[in-house]
Amino acid sequence: MQKTYQGSCVCGSVKFECELDLAKGTTRCNCSFCKKARFWMAFTNSDNFRLLEGAQALKSYQRTPPGKAGPFLDFQFCGNCGVRAFTKGGALPQFGGKFHAVNIACLDNATDEELAQAPVHYADGRSDHWETESATTRYL
């Protein structure tokens, strides 16, 4: 069931809210950026994401995967505490346009039970095949 979640970085400079249905699935990715950041995400259409505070605190790192028009991914992180609360993405048909990948660990009102029950897709981002399951997942 879709729910409105509030989220923030660890220092509280960046605050957002979004509509997500965690039961529809979450993603862990083995690309170099997600692996190093330990990023566990859920996707939402950009219309369902609202930055409430902290635009001035946000820093950005942009990346364009092979075959995409760039910049395609805009990794947003707090310039004070360094936490990546979300990533902004370019238009994808499955999201009906632009999207946000929300860091599940930054959802302030997600219960432990909701997180434990959320299905996880282990994406093979290292090979630029995000729709394919990574062969090894225990380290993610």
Instruction: Report CA torsion sign: 77, 112, 140, 100.
Output: negative
- Please provide the average confidence, as pLDDT, over all residues in the chain: 88
CA atoms of 92 and 99, how far apart (whole Å)? 8
**The pLDDT of residue 36:** 85
What is the pTM for the complete model shown? 0.86
Residue 91 has pLDDT above 90, yes or no: no
Residue 76: Cβ within 10 Å count: 23
Phi, psi of 108 (to 5 degrees): -70, -30
Residue 77: Cβ within 10 Å count: 21
**The pLDDT of residue 71:** 58
Residue 80 has pLDDT above 70, yes or no: yes
**The pLDDT of residue 38:** 87
Local structure of residue 107 (DSSP, 8 states): B
Residue 34 has pLDDT above 90, yes or no: no
**The pLDDT of residue 16:** 98
Nearest Cα to 103, choosing from 7, 10, 12, 32?
7
User: For the ranges 4-13, 37-46, 71-80, which has the lowest average pLDDT?
Assistant: 71-80
**The pLDDT of residue 35:** 84
**The pLDDT of residue 126:** 81
User: For the ranges 58-62, 69-73, 118-122, which has the lowest average pLDDT?
Assistant: 69-73
**The pLDDT of residue 129:** 72
CATH hierarchy code of domain 3-127: 2.170.150.70
| Confidence at 140, pLDDT banded by 50, 70, 90 | low
Percent of the chain clearing pLDDT 70 (strictly above): 90
